[in-house]
A and B are shown apart, each in its own frame.
Chain A
Amino acid sequence: MSTVPIEPLLHHSHLRHNSRIYRVTRGFVPCSLNLRSHFTCNKLHSIGSTVGPGMSLGFRSSKHRRSVAIRASSSDTAVVETSQSDDVVFKEKFPVQRIEKAEGKMYVRMKQVKEKNWQMSVGCSLPGKWILHWGVSYVGDTGSEWDQPPEDMRPPDSIAIKDYAIETPLKKLSEGDSFYEVTINLNLESSVAALNFVLKDEETGAWYQHKGRDFKVPLLADVPDDGNLIGAKKGFGKWPGALGKLSNILLKADEPGAKVQEKSKSSSDSTKERKGLEEFYEEMPISKHVSDDNSVSVTARKCPETSKNIVTVETDLPGDVTVHWGVCKNGSKKWEIPAEPYPEETILFKKKALRTRLQRKDDGNGSFGSFSLDGKLEGLCFVLKLNENTWLNNRGEDFYVPFSISSGLPVETETAQASGNTPEAKQEVIDTAVTDEIITEIRNLAIDISSHKNQKTKVKEVQENILQEIEKLAAEAYSIFRSTTPTFSEASVLEAEADEPEIKISSGTGSGFEILCQGFNWESHKSGRWYMELKEKADELASLGFTVLWLPPPTESVSPEGYMPKDLYNLNSRYGTIDELKDTVRRFHDVGIKVLGDAVLNHRCAHFKNQNGVWNLFGGRLNWDDRAVVADDPHFQGRGNKSSGDNFHAAPNIDHSQDFVRKDIKEWLCWMREEIGYDGWRLDFVRGFWGGYVKDYVDASKPYFAVGEYWDSLSYTYGEMDYNQDAHRQRIVDWINATSGAAGAFDVTTKGILHVALQKCEYWRLSDPKGKPPGVVGYWPSRAVTFIENHDTGSTQGHWRFPGGKEMQGYAYILTHPGTPAVFFDHIFSDYRSEIASLLSLRNRKKLHCRSEVKIDKVERDVYAAIIDEKVAMKIGPGHYEPPSESKNWSLVVEGRDYKVWETS
């Protein structure tokens, strides 16, 4: 018998001071059911002894006697009542996971042992399986690539990772030592210019970096500083909150003078001699999250004599535990305050809840408490509070203890246990009930419009969310059903069952009311401080009504515009530094705008040539070799698999079918989410690889919004664009489907059709044979991101420029129609500004969204007119149109060259 059941018994012995205890607790320990109800304390004890040593029965009873003695002399707890024949109405053991943030420090020490014999040590005080992942830079190297260190620098238990790095575990110097440490003997004869490293915890898989980049310890004076030098009195970017705690070093992370300071300190003579090398010792705070599994056991009993519900809560959580609770009446789960008396150590919290501190158990392992409540109540809701910042709940929900037997929850606790049923069976039923309730609640919110008339907007948003979740699920189902191969594994059945109860409403498609701003053009890199310039415009863009901002690609890039990325972890680009980027993102968050990062995942520029002189080997932290390059582009001699999409010929295309590549990319995206604060992605050139991989990335990085650029040619016959572009939009929809609807896509079809319709005055093209919009927006509006221009099509490149002078007609179309519209930066800051502003404000005011209904009202050679959600009417083209006046009062809101927009008044 395990010792787990000890605790309930112990705990009850605190509460009750006579032998009736045995009867009361019989439900808890199945095997002793009969013993308890029929034997006296002494008998039980003797039986316990005869059962054998190690069995907890005997142990328990002796323990019990002792605690009785203690309790008998202590004062009584006022509200606890005892009873001869309690009935257990609810019993449950909830698992709770406590995330503990362990804080410690790490250090880097440079020490001169003898002349010309220097050592660098890296140490860490936190427990863990620490690995130093490191490499060196040689004199003359540029960029951030790593090389393997000379043989004699490698500590004995090092492992070479590919050709570019070494992994050496940190060890405790001696038993009882609190630090894990690794020491590297430096070879100063070699031409090593700097040591690069990151610290890795194999237990959690977490990487620890310096200011979002590798640690870099310069051994020479002129090592270029990308902001990550160490031994240079710089702070850590990752833990800004904890910096103040360190007293022994100066931490002036963001001070512009830091570089100067470093130079003067470590190598004032700025020659290549080692003279400048100085001893240093630098400490940084480090933290890691450790999760502990504990449990909370809750038992509710009905006391027939007093008709009260007695709830006991106990837990093995260490430290002080406070129960933050309320009671439920009338079938709702609204928290209410019960009538007094309350248990000991209870305080009223803001008239909304009660807080009761649990009593520590005598053995110090956890706490317990007991609540006696009116029998008419329906249940008890609670969460646990460990300290000001740590709250525990039941997998995202309040703990709920139902009292009523008629509530539909199974309550035959005793029979279930006696027959040997496992508690999991019961857990399942409760889960289902909870799930049902959640779903019902959500749905009620969504459907119950009439009873919440004043909250219509809110309801609408919830409805949007649900619709989105539904669409996502449908897309997933669609893609599986379409690939007709059935799955033949029992395991997948179980898996599917296991994850069913979670209904989470999050998707890469925003709220449905998003309006995108493309926050750059082809020239934005030129100033070198675009982030800062854009930051100044935050208020302006927010007041215009934008909700999402798309920033340029942030990585180090071979081309200044950023679309030829090299080291993905180097976020210092021609648009600004990583710190400026973070700052800008923060600023936009402050004004309520979400920020998208431009992620170039299709290709990556190599750092090195292979033996044939072909550039296909990567450096930096993601030092992939040629297996990461697709095999079917002869220019780059990749050793990966064939590409799952089209190839982009200017750089090595990444082979996303490789597990290590996907793992690295997912890590990178998550890192950017966390480090930079990006809310989502604009995915470059997604034609280049299979949408299923995008789903993988989106699922891993959980963006608020994601949109892919799937740009291919529309269909033409003899130079004339075809009326029917279903094949074109189907290709885009197929890609969205491959992502299971996790990401949207730019509606290239709509742009193309608008081009011809406006340019040639062929407005009839704007209605498909079914009378719907002819672009992606007519097929799958919630995933279509409509636009008329971007940095490629327009700006100074002009690969496919929107017909000049007709831009406002384009905006009148996309800003009134369903889909998520994107406005190009150049257009906002142009003469069109005020007209665009009126359209944006109309869209927001009238709550048009990505699923709004379009009714095409007139479609002729020279005019296209539509009514959206029956509250906005629009026409583009020189022809005449007036919205039908019989049913509604239309008033003209915006008017310009060849377009008009009305709203209902």
Chain B
Amino acid sequence: MEVSVIRNSQARICREELAYRVNKCCIGSEFISIKARNRISLYGETTRRNEIKKLCCSQRSIRCEAVVSDKAPFFKSTPRTRSLKGVRLFVGLPLNTVSDCNIVNHTKAIAAGLRALKLLGVEGVELPIFWGVAEKESPGNYRWSGYLAIAEMVKKMGLKLHVSLCFHGSKQPNIPLPDWVTRIGETKPGIYFTDRSGSQYKECLSFGVDDVPVLDGKTPMEVYRCFLESFKSEFSDYLGNTITGITIGLGPDGELRYPSYQTRKLSDGAGEFQCYDKHMLAALKHYAEANGNPLWGLSGPHDAPSYDQQPNSSAFFSDGGSWESEYGDFFLSWYSSLLVSHADRVLSLASSAFSGTGLPLCGKLPLLHQWHKLRSRPSELTAGFYCNGDHDRYEAFAETFAKSSCKMIMPGMDLSDEHQSLDSLSSPESLLAHIKTCCKKYGVVVSGQNSTVPILGGFERIIENLKDENTVIDLFTYQRMGALFFSPDHFHAFTEFVLNLSQFKLPEDDLRAEKEEDNGGGKTLTTSMQAA
């Protein structure tokens, strides 16, 4: 029905509208959504290819998943489980699941946890794979055994696995970058992000060295490529059946951003610019000279506040302050363009590495909701999100994701405005809504995550977000398994959350929907999947 509308308005249909239609189609039942997407993509292929490109991509990713799930032997006979899986729920495994000596930590607990999750009806788990663990000793010397053991456990339990490839380190628990990278870092400190006072952020390489051969003659991008290839061949048995998705690390904590807070708490200030390492400064200088303002390229903004200062305490972020000046635009555009090109590089790399596996690729954005109510939104600026004037700061990123058919993971789906402290002028809800709209515009599929610490009222908020009719979120990853997760209080709440989730997907008295399904809805699904 919806589809025919689209056909009629073939001639001039803007992307937003189309995306809106598509998303509206998805509401209610997954079957309908898949059918709808398939047909739209057909239309897209035959007519205006360019405009519909993103939709084709999302259709592709859907198709892959459908095929994957079809392989599991028990799905066919019990189509009802699918309705629960309208939102596929994953739970993150502990960050230190595999220790840096390549041993599985807490095996028994994880085994028990997996079993509990399976019984609960959770679709799968997310496994963070750290560069610093898998390629710890020397370049090209990969050790996957610990991670493979986990993949095997997950497979045996009949769960799915979403792998996050982490090119960053972690402070808590302590998982540094590979030893050999750390050794290089000692002699070439310029490979790390550096702030104005010269302190380095050693959990992630600077975006300035992406294409500079700093790692024993190789560029980080080349090293990442080898890492991905090795992963792909080692896990080939699991790709597509147990492993149903891959998240690629884009920066600090896997998120696409500058480490503008380094290790400080987010609530203190707006963060600092991280452009003071050798390579970034050189790039800035070069850019300034090319723009005919060589003096602007000598350093970063002099009037930005420090970490623990209020954003308004100095001139840069205040209304009418430097950020709105010509210099501000110059600097921030450059700073942000580096972030965009980093995203582009890594995502293209990953999408080419995994092309042919049919696995959906994901990347994570931060939810920089602090100081959102200030006009300058300084947290976004220090983290690298900027666009000249009133333009959308997230558009460039959504476009980049769309280009590589990458899904966007949005954290903080459990945050609600009412629980934020008034002083921080924050608004996670409106920011999230904004980014979701932006993604929709570019046909980027959004997946959800919560923030890392459980929040009061978080589960209710997550449900609201998942119910949101404007953006269909088909995958939610709950972070993360561990002592807190299994503590009686929290686990009880989580259990309730899972049950609620399945309930709202399966309304008890919606007999009509049930009939529809019985009347061969399942069959249509199978055939359309095979056709696709």
Chain A interface residues (CB < 8 Å from chain B): 331-332, 407-409, 428, 432-433, 435-437, 439-444, 447-451, 466-467, 469-471, 473-478, 480-482, 484, 486-488, 490, 492-493, 496-497, 500-501, 503, 733, 737, 779-780
Contact = CB atoms under 8 A, between A and B. Distances in A.
B72 A450 contact: no
Contacts of A481: 94, 106, 109, 481-483, 485-486
A496 B73 contact: no
Interface in B474-523: 481-483, 485-489, 491-492, 495, 502, 506, 508-511, 514
B236 interface: no
B127 to A, nearest CB: 15
B81 A486 contact: no
Interface string B73-103: 1101110110010000000001010010001
A467 B488 CA distance: 13
Contacts of B84: 447
B406 to A, nearest CB: 30
A447 B72 CA distance: 19
A725 to B, nearest CB: 15
Contacts, number: 147
Contacts of B73: 407-409, 433, 436-437
Given A469-B119, A493-B149, A474 B108 contact: no
A497 B107 CA distance: 9
B119 A449 contact: no
A482 B116 contact: no
B111 interface: yes
Interface string B104-118: 111111111111101
A500 B491 contact: no
Interface residues of B, number: 56
Interface stretch (B14-22, B151-159, B220-228): B151-159
Contacts of B13: none
Interface of B: 71-74, 76-78, 80-81, 84, 94, 96, 99, 103-116, 118-121, 149, 152-153, 155-158, 481-483, 485-489, 491-492, 495, 502, 506, 508-511, 514
B119 A474 contact: no
Nearest to B155: A432
Contact of B113 (A408, A428, A450, A473): A473
B85 to A, nearest CB: 11
A482 B481 CA distance: 12
Contacts of A487: 105-108
Contacts of B99: 486
Considering the complex of A and B, which 3 residue pairs feature the smallest CB-CB distances, nearest first? A408-B73, A480-B109, A478-B486
A476 B106 contact: no
Contacts of B112: 473-474, 476-477, 480
Contacts of A447: 80-81, 84, 121, 502, 506
A428 B156 CA distance: 8
Contact of B71 (A408, A437, A451, A484): A408
B109 A500 contact: no
A470 B110 contact: no
A486 B483 CA distance: 13
B104 to A, nearest CB: 6
B119 A477 contact: no
7 contacts: A436-B158, A439-B158, A442-B119, A443-B119, A476-B112, A481-B486, A501-B156
Contacts of A474: 112-113, 116, 486, 488, 491
Contacts of A428: 156
Nearest to B146: A493
A443 B74 CA distance: 12
A303 to B, nearest CB: 24
A436 to B, nearest CB: 4
Contacts of B510: 450
A450 B158 contact: no
Contacts of B495: 467, 470-471
Contacts of A737: 488
A557 to B, nearest CB: 36
B80 A432 contact: no
B208 to A, nearest CB: 36
A448 B488 contact: no
A437 B153 contact: no
A503 B121 CA distance: 14
A815 to B, nearest CB: 22
Given A408-B73, A474-B112, A503-B118, 12 more contacts: A407-B73, A436-B73, A447-B121, A477-B116, A478-B483, A478-B488, A480-B109, A481-B485, A481-B486, A493-B104, A493-B107, A779-B489
A475 B486 contact: yes
Contacts of A477: 109-110, 112-113, 116, 481, 486
A478 B121 contact: no
The DSSP consensus for interface residues of chain A is helix
Most chain A beta-carbon neighbours within 10 Å: one of B71, B491, B502? B491
A447 B501 CA distance: 12
Nearest to B486: A478
A629 to B, nearest CB: 32
A232 to B, nearest CB: 52
Contacts of A440: 74, 78, 81
Given A439-B118, A444-B78, A482-B483, A451 B107 contact: no
Nearest to B104: A493
B121 A496 contact: no
B138 to A, nearest CB: 23
Contacts of B111: 496-497, 500
B110 A408 contact: no
A484 B113 CA distance: 16
A473 B115 CA distance: 7
B453 to A, nearest CB: 16
Most buried by B among A332, A436, A481, A486: A481
Nearest to A437: B74
B115 A500 contact: yes
Contacts of B158: 432, 435-436, 439
A439 B73 CA distance: 13
Contacts of A473: 112-113, 115-116, 119
A469 B495 CA distance: 12
B370 to A, nearest CB: 27
B77 A733 contact: no
Contacts of A407: 73
Contact of A503 (B104, B115, B120, B481): B115
Contacts of A441: 78
A443 B78 CA distance: 10
B113 A500 contact: no
Contacts of B118: 439, 503
A223 B483 CA distance: 59
B158 to A, nearest CB: 4
Nearest to B84: A447
Nearest to B114: A500
Contacts of A780: 488, 492
Nearest to B487: A478
Contacts of B116: 469-470, 473-474, 477
B278 to A, nearest CB: 38
Contacts of A497: 111, 152-153, 156
A480 B108 contact: yes
A496 B106 CA distance: 10
Contacts of B153: 496-497, 500
A412 to B, nearest CB: 15
A191 to B, nearest CB: 56
Nearest to A783: B488
Contacts of A450: 506, 508-511, 514
B219 to A, nearest CB: 35
B157 A500 contact: yes
B96 to A, nearest CB: 8
A617 B396 CA distance: 81
B78 to A, nearest CB: 6
Contacts of A471: 491, 495
Given A450-B509, A476-B109, A477-B109, A439 B119 contact: yes
